[in-house]
Amino acid sequence: MYLDPGFGSMLIQALVASIAAIAVGLGIFRHKIKAFFTRKKNVEETTESIEVGDVETVDTQEDDSGDDLNVK
């Protein structure tokens, strides 16, 4: 039985792709199991509040300078 170099290259590529797919699958599976057993923090502790003064207001009215948007 003759195996040409193209077929050997294809076998090596399939082997590497299989190993990579198994590694990624195990990583995702491990992450899901770890997330299931770890304690989740309270939602109020993890979210940061945004103060109203921290947000810029944008004026969409056009003025004499020709700009469409003016940041106050």
Q: What pLDDT digit, counting tens, does each position of 11-51 carry?
A: 999 999 999 999 999 999 998 888 888 876 655 555 555 55
Q: How high is the pLDDT of residue 51?
A: 59
pLDDT of residue 25: 94
71 — phi, psi (to 5°)? Answer: -90, 125
* pTM over 0.75, yes/no: no
What are the residue boundaries of the structural domains of the chain, listed by start? 1-46
pLDDT the model gives residue 13: 96
- Predicted confidence at residue 57, as pLDDT, reads 60
Residue 44's pLDDT is 53
Collect all residues with Cβ–Cβ distance below 8 Å to 63 and sequence separation of at least 6: 70
